[in-house]
Amino acid sequence: MTDIIHLLPDSVANQIAAGEVIQRPASVIKELVENSIDAGANQIKIYIKDAGRTLLQITDNGCGMSETDARMAFERHATSKITSASDLFSIRTKGFRGEALASIAAIAQVNLKTRHTEEEIGTEINIAGSKVTSQEPVNCAKGTNIAIKNLFFNVPARRKFLKSNSTELRHIIFEFQRIALAHPEAELVLIHNDAEIYNLPASNLRQRIVYVFGKHINQNLTQLNTETSIVNVSGFIGKPEFAKKTYGEQFFFINNRYMRHAYFHKAVLKAYEHILPPDTVPSYFIYLEADPETIDVNIHPTKTEIKFEDEQAIFQIIHASTKEALGKFNITPSIDFDSETAINIPVMNRHTEIKPPSIEIDPEYNPFEKEHYNRGNFSHGSSRSRDNATHWEKFYDGFENPNLHPDSFKPEQEAVQTTFTSSGSAGSSGHIQLRGRYILTSVKSGVMIVDQKRAHERILFEKYIHMFAHASSPAQQQLFPESIELDPADYSFLSDILDDVNSIGFDIRSLGQNTVVVYGCPADLNNPHPKDLVEHLIEEFKNTEGAVKISAKERIARSLARSTAIGYGNTMEQEEMRELIDKLFACENPNYSPSGKLILTIIDIDEIEGKLK
Ligand code: ADP
Ligand code: MG
């Protein structure tokens, strides 16, 4: 029998590795800019064309490479950053796996010009699909200039998988923001199709945050600073009242490397417990410094997931540090801090057992119970009940979750066929509101339970869809047009949909510089609070991005319905409940909310009888 196992050619192995490291143009930016930082650069310029599809070019003033190194750099597992396995436990550089350049060269056409600081003449290399096509001496500036053309040119499946230019650009902006916040000492420029998106001078951290997210954020920040033997925590957090409805300003860094950390995020949220407006998430820019020996950055090829030896202790330290900083805003009543002295956090030994702190809460207490439901128009209510943890899940998997399309929701059970008619409700049957959340009504076959918020969302959704179809409502001009400054990613979201949004009765105009002005809103909106609506729109678009085809108008309608629907915890009068139920059953689809959640259910009379046997 013949043997069948053989080694893969390098070009194939590199292409496979590229699948893990390079998912999209933004991954190229991340890898190359990290290389520039590792090379000691403090001026880095990024030029991209067509959201990186045709060109991604990075120029730096770092140490550059010698002729031999320039060639070696494209070999797999070729790195100058570690030499032995033990170095893995003292990583201070961004890279160390030696696979980024090899991967990129396997799936694109690469032109590299580099000159080492100590050399007079530089080296130019052209390489495409892992094949070097030329290498020669060249006159060039000190540092490195690398151009990546036609990404995925030889992997059509990957190229096809790329999203729209605006989506890919947004991913690039997110990567850029992470690098910019990790390295305020570096001058960074990002240019897309000849338009400058960012031009950030070297600065301190606070200024950098302001340059990246806009002037408005400055007054919103307070400083964190906690030093312990396990970890040092520094950075800034945002005031609770400025917390946003959308994600985008939550950052953790460990030893100047951006990371995602769901558990530590909870530590921050816990510090904000009971002081956030409903359905919002606070901004934070939290920098951890820890001994590299106590962390593992090598658990994922993109190195954004990091394992800590002392996660529970760090959780407590982050929580305490955030709480202390919030105390400086004078809004957390619990602890009396001397604002100038640092909080005294017990220094823990790595091996002592750590118990999560316990707090006593009254699960029945609802701070919004008293809030009276706005009569007549089911106007915007507060919905505190949704745990902030749900935001977090959204943060991690929402962006391209195909399940968010309403059509893709497969009802778990057949839609409820009710014998209920709208005229029926007007008659004798009274409604009972349960926990500010459900409406109970007696119907022929038993007891019907309606979720008030979902019901109202459905009603509004259909109303808005109707409004769009008939384009009936001209914009009602705002008395005081509100200008809203967005971060570039959100601005690009909104610019994409501005025409559609305006076609249904908004009058939102772009001022450039990531700022829009809301001159008008549709006349019959329940909650014409422009900033709120715009934030919701953007959130909705982020969350449905990449979903199966769902029209822009439908997404707008969903978003508006959500932001203007009555929340949980609002007390409703008989008349109001009746109106809600009537309108629900006048809807085309009273069973499911626009995002596919069940609105109502019926407890059968047989079931009730069974229970009372
Ligand atoms: P890694 O960063 O993990 O070492 P890469 O494939 O990204 O692997 O890069 C390989 C090597 O090429 C690096 O270790 C570094 O020595 C060199 N290199 C890459 N980019 C630059 C740059 N912009 N300036 C100087 N050297 C670079
Ligand atoms: Mg690298």
pLDDT tens-digit profile of 376-415?
Answer: 333 333 333 333 333 333 333 333 333 333 333 333 333 4
pLDDT above 80 for 509 = yes
442 and 587 together in one domain: yes
397: helix, strand or coil: helix
Instruction: State pLDDT tens for residues 101-119.
Output: 999 999 999 999 999 999 9
For residue 348, tell me if it sits in a domain: no
Is residue 612 in a domain?
A: yes
Instruction: Please report the pLDDT score of residue 95 as a whole number.
Output: 87
Q: Within this chain, do residues 93 and 213 fall inside the same structural domain, yes or no?
A: no
Last residue of a domain, one of 200, 215, 233: 200
Q: How many angstroms is it from 307 CA to the middle of ligand 1?
A: 24
Give distance in angstroms: CA of 135 to centre of ligand 1.
17
- The verdict on residue 4 lying in a domain is no
pLDDT in tens, 5-50: 988 888 888 888 777 889 999 999 999 999 999 999 999 999 999 9
**Residues 53 and 187 reside in one and the same domain:** yes
Rounded distance between C-alpha atoms, residue 110 and residue 151, angstroms: 9
Ligand 1 binding pocket mutation candidate from 22, 38, 60, 61 (most atoms within 8 A of CB): 38
Gap between the Cα atoms of 528 and 250, Å rounded: 28
| pLDDT tens string 67-79 | 999 999 999 888 9
Q: How confident is the model at residue 526 (pLDDT cuts 50, 70, 90)?
A: low
- State mean pLDDT over 600-613: 90
Q: What is the pLDDT of residues 268-288, one digit of tens each?
A: 999 999 888 877 899 999 999
* Residues, CB-to-ion distance under 5 Å, ligand 2: 35, 95, 100
Tell me, yes or no, whether 25 lies in a domain. Answer: yes
What's the CA-to-centroid distance between 408 and ligand 1, angstroms? Answer: 44
Q: What is the pLDDT of residue 408?
A: 32
Ligand 1 pocket test: pick from 29, 75, 101, 112 the residue with the most ligand atoms within 8 Å of its Cβ: 101
Query: Which strands, in side-by-side order, build the sheet including 438-443?
Result: 431-434, 438-443, 446-451, 600-604
State whether 268 and 185 are in the same domain. no
The mean pLDDT of 508-525, rounded to a whole number, is 81
Domain end position, chosen among 152, 170, 200: 200
Q: Is residue 166 located within the same domain as residue 57? A: yes
User: For position 98, which CATH number holds?
Assistant: 3.30.565.10
Cα 570 to ligand 2 centroid, rounded to whole Å: 54
Lowest mean pLDDT among 46-60, 185-199, 559-573: 559-573
CA nearest to 208, candidates 196, 199, 195, 220: 199
Q: Which atom of ligand 1 is nearest to the CA of 58?
A: 23
Query: Quick one: 230 and 178 in the same domain?
Result: no
Q: Residue 66 pLDDT more than 60?
A: yes
Query: Is residue 588 a part of any domain in this protein?
Result: yes
- Highest mean pLDDT: which range of 149-163, 338-352, 535-549: 149-163
**Cα–Cα dist 39/41, whole Å:** 6
Same domain, 187 and 296: no
Q: What is the pLDDT of residue 185?
A: 97
pLDDT band per the 50, 70, 90 thresholds, residue 97: confident
Domain identity same for 135 and 212: no
* Per-residue confidence band for 364, with pLDDT thresholds at 50, 70 and 90: low
Number of folded domains that form the chain = 3
Q: For atom 8 of ligand 1, which residue has the closest CA?
A: 98
Mark whether 113 and 244 lie in a shared domain. Answer: no
Both 171 and 258 in a single domain? no
Residue carrying the six token digits 């000849």: 194
Selection from 72-81, 283-292, 350-359, 532-541 with the highest mean pLDDT: 283-292
Q: Could you tell me if residue 393 is inside a domain?
A: no
Q: Whose CA is nearest to atom 25 of ligand 1?
A: 64
How many whole angstroms from 161 Cα to the centroid of ligand 2? 24
What band does 566 get if pLDDT is binned at 50, 70 and 90?
Answer: confident
What CATH number is given to the structural domain containing 430? 3.30.1370.100
Mean pLDDT of the chain: 81
Q: In this predicted structure, what is the pLDDT of residue 546?
A: 54
* Rounded distance from Cα 235 to ligand 1 centre (Å): 29
Average pLDDT estimate for 564-584: 88
Measured by CA distance, the residue closest to atom 2 of ligand 1 is: 95
Ligand 1 lining (C-beta closer than 6 Å): 31, 35-36, 39, 60, 62-65, 73, 78-81, 95-102, 144
> Domain with 269 in it: what CATH number?
3.30.230.10
Q: How far is the CA of 144 from the centre of ligand 1 (A)?
A: 10
* Distances in whole angstroms, Cα of residue 462 to Cα of each of 323, 539, 587: 43, 20, 7
Buried b / exposed e across 25-56, counting CB within 10 Å, b at 16+? bbbbbbbbbbbbbbbebeebbbbbeebbbebb
Q: Tens digits of per-residue pLDDT, 283-311?
A: 999 999 999 999 998 777 778 889 999 99
pLDDT tens, 463-482? 888 877 776 566 777 777 88
Counting ligand 1 atoms within 8 A of each CB, the residue from 33, 76, 79 with the most, and so the one to mutate, is 79
Q: Residue 357 domain-assigned? A: no
Last residue of a domain, one of 327, 361, 396: 327
Residue predicted with more confidence, 480 or 544: 480
Distance from C-alpha of 445 to C-alpha of 75, rounded to nearest angstrom = 72
**Predicted local distance difference test score (pLDDT) of residue 467:** 76
CA of 35 from ligand 1 middle (Å) equals 5
Percent of the chain with pLDDT over 70: 80
Q: Give the ligand with the smallest distance to the CA of 101.
A: 1
Q: Higher confidence at residue 543 or residue 146?
A: 146
- Does 524 share its domain with 572? yes
Above 60 in pLDDT, residue 332?
no
Give 453's pLDDT tier (boundaries 50, 70, 90). Answer: very high
The pLDDT of residue 445: 87
Q: Is residue 504 part of a domain?
A: yes
Q: How far apart are CA 56 and CA 100, in angstroms?
A: 14
User: Is the domain of 175 the same as that of 220?
Assistant: no
Confidence of residue 427 (pLDDT cuts 50, 70, 90): very low
Task: Tell me the residue range of the domain where 257 lies.
Answer: 205-327
443 in Cβ contact with 418 (< 8 Å): yes
Would you say residue 353 has pLDDT above 70? Answer: no
